[in-house]
Amino acid sequence: MRRRGAMIGLGGMLGTVVLGGASAFGQAEEPAAAKPPAQAQAANIDVETLLKRWEVQSSKLGTLDVSIFRTDKIPAFEEIEYYEGRAIFKNPNLAFIDFKKIKQDAQGKPVKKEDGSSWESAHDERIICTGSEVWQYRSDTKQIFVFPLEKDQADRAIEEGPLPFLFNMKADEAKARYDMKMMSPPNATSYAVAITPKLDVDRESFSRASVQLDRSFMLPVRIILVSPDGKSTKDFKMEAVKPNAAVKDENFVGKPFEKWKLVRNPGGNAPGMRRAPAQPPAGAGGAGAGEAGRPAAANAVRPAIAPAARR
């Protein structure tokens, strides 16, 4: 059963995507090979040390290009959904996020194309942060919502997106906003951190989270977000993490699509990146209760920014 929740932040992903029968995205340049730090970090470290090392590595990123496999679990409806995506970030405040929903077979398993080369999928949604605006593309209704950003919002846009902890990690800000604890035992290649939000603005997006960090690069390779009601989850597995990849600036340009409705500043306010944009009017393919009468809690984990990155 299809569901549509409120969008809250920024996020992204993969491939040339065809929307409304026309190719919607350009192509990003192939990333250069990234080199890990000279030495992998020691296995046993505390949260304070981890955050400092994480911040140091994050500060070295001019760009980040990530391919993602996402699994959404909704126990209340006995549903599991799968998405493939791509997220591209560029300092100081640019982001491109795109997800495609993967087709499932009669047993609910994700389906590969006949040649086995990739998933059988269709574009779901995209979000682009231009630095001054957020463009949210919704394929189900063929609508584009454009939210203007004040300067302080632009600076926070990536930090408060639907994929927190992925880009521009700052240790002091993280400690102010979250309770963070090491999860044990660490394995040979990664650390794991349990995270609980302290602030209401973050609790609107998730009630708790866990982040798995690659020891060599000190970058997230997996992020799990639990919904505000504590029931549903979103599991983001980074299948390819490319630090300082060469990316094209056109990825971060919002533009209208032919035959798509463009709605500027819906609700009259520029939303904080953790807040849900106004729902489209009745009959336009979305309502506060979600599709097929789903309560809002069933959709609450859906992060707020989500369309696809250009390659």
Question: Percent of the chain at pLDDT above 70?
Answer: 68
121-168 confidence digits (pLDDT tens): 999 999 999 999 999 999 999 999 999 988 777 666 666 666 678 888
Question: Percent of the chain at pLDDT above 90?
Answer: 55
Per-residue pLDDT, 306? 32
Contact indicator for 181, 193 with CB cutoff of 8 Å: yes
> Which burial class, exposed, middle or buried, applies to 90 when counting CB atoms under 10 A from its CB (0-12, 13-18, 19+)?
buried
> Per-residue confidence at 39, pLDDT binned at 50, 70, 90?
very low
pLDDT of 205 above 70: yes
> Angle at CA 85, nearest 5°, toward 16 and 258?
45
pLDDT of 41 above 70: no
pLDDT of 118 above 80: yes
Residue-range domain boundaries for the chain: 18-42+61-170+236-299
pLDDT of 277 above 50: no
Contact indicator for 98, 85 with CB cutoff of 8 Å: yes
49-83 confidence digits (pLDDT tens): 999 999 999 999 999 999 999 999 999 889 999 99
Per-residue pLDDT, 177? 93
Does the domain spanning 18-42+61-170+236-299 belong to CATH 2.50.20? Answer: yes
pLDDT of 44 above 80: no
Structure tokens at 180: 């963070």
Contact indicator for 305, 10 with CB cutoff of 8 Å: yes
**pTM of the model as a whole:** 0.73
Structure tokens at 72: 């959404």
> Per-residue confidence at 42, pLDDT binned at 50, 70, 90?
very low
